[in-house]
Amino acid sequence: MRVAAGRSAAVVEGLWVSYRHTWRATLVSSFLSPLLFLLAIGVGLGARIDSGGPVEGLTYAAFVAPGLLAATCMQVATFEATYPVMAGIKWFGTYRSILATPVGVPDLVAGRVAWIALRLTAVAAVFMVVTIPFGVSSGPLAVLALPAAVLTGLAVAAPIEAWAASRDDEQGFVGLFRFVILPMFLFAGTFFPVSQLPDWLQPVAWITPLWHGTELTRGFMTGAPDPLVPLHLAVLLVLAVAGTLAATVTYRRRLEP
């Protein structure tokens, strides 16, 4: 497959133009929701938790903040990789008209992934800047939490994008959010250490992309990356790349049968 950077950039520009009409709808879920969670649970409930001692050596707010960052990227990316895909393929047919131009399927997929990466960068950057007063990030390595969170989102979004393009309708999306995304958000290390889960459940958490993403992001943000960084990176990169490749296949099957 060949990807032309210029043509992918054109795809990104197209997505940006349509986002300018809908951005307000994403304010709550992308920017406000993680902050409010941090305030209510990280700070509010954290005050009670901290009186019982640190969590994995951190204040509870410092523990939860990177978790929320990674999880928010996952949720935003999942949304971007589901409904807009159905809209492009089926509801509005925009992908077909895009492919009637010199843009090919690999350009389209690459452009979409790049677009999601841009969206996530904005989400992560705002979160990191706004949470500075909470003192939840420390050390120069904290800057790396941003790419880590973005990568987390892509590792989830790319395979989902491939899957979404193969769906006939949006019926499965609710199930995806309810049975895959929400359980990851709640149990893969965002709010409490995975070590608290029952023994049989811990391995399940370990194979989720969000756990790898959360560990990676938390390590950088708190200035103490754990020794498994290469493993986390490898898992997330493989998922993101394999998902993107798979998406070109499912896009082809759907749009160039």
Partner 1 sequence: MSTGLVVRVLPPALLGARRSALWVERQWVASRRIWLVLVSGAFEPLLYLLAIGVGVGALVGDVTYGGQPVPYASWVAPAMLAASAMNGAVYETTGNVFFRMRYSKVYDGALATPLEPRDLALGELIWALLRGAAYAVSFAVVMAVLGLMESWWSLLLVPAALLIGLAFAGLGLYAVTFMRSWTDLDLVQLVTLPLFLFSATFVPLDDYPAWAEPIVVVTPLYQGVALLRDLSLGSVGPATLGHVAYLVVLGLTGLALAGRRFSRMLVR
Shortest spacing between CB 48 and partner 1, in angstroms: 5
**CA pair distance 11, 105, nearest whole angstrom:** 11
Of the two residues 2 and 24, which places its CB atom closer to partner 1 in the complex?
Answer: 24
Of the two residues 115 and 191, which places its CB atom closer to partner 1 in the complex?
Answer: 191
Shortest spacing between CB 13 and partner 1, in angstroms: 22
Of the two residues 62 and 246, which places its CB atom closer to partner 1 in the complex?
Answer: 62
Shortest spacing between CB 220 and partner 1, in angstroms: 23
CA angle, corner 34, sides to 29 and 37, nearest 5?
Answer: 120
**3-class SS string, the chain:** CCCCHHHHHHHHHHHHHHHHHHHHHHHHHHHHHHHHHHHHHHHHHHHHHHCCCCECCECHHHHHHHHHHHHHHHHHHHHHCCHHHHHHHHHCCHHHHHHCCCCCHHHHHHHHHHHHHHHHHHHHHHHHHHCHHHCCCCCHHHHHHHHHHHHHHHHHHHHHHHHHCCCCCCHHHHHHHHHHHHHHHHHCCCCCCHHHCCCCCHHHHHCCHHHHHHHHHHHHHCCCCCCCHHHHHHHHHHHHHHHHHHHHHHHHHHHCC
Of the two residues 22 and 200, which places its CB atom closer to partner 1 in the complex?
Answer: 22
**CA pair distance 37, 191, nearest whole angstrom:** 10
Of the two residues 188 and 246, which places its CB atom closer to partner 1 in the complex?
Answer: 188
Shortest spacing between CB 232 and partner 1, in angstroms: 22
Cβ-proximal residues to 171 (8 Å cutoff; 6+ apart), any chain: none
Of the two residues 29 and 166, which places its CB atom closer to partner 1 in the complex?
Answer: 29
Shortest spacing between CB 43 and partner 1, in angstroms: 10
Shortest spacing between CB 90 and partner 1, in angstroms: 17
- Please give the residue ranges that form the binding site for partner 1 (CB under 8 A): 22, 24-25, 27-29, 32-33, 36-37, 39-41, 44-45, 47-49, 52, 55, 60, 171, 174-175, 178-179, 182-183, 186-187, 191-192, 196-197
Of the two residues 143 and 201, which places its CB atom closer to partner 1 in the complex?
Answer: 201
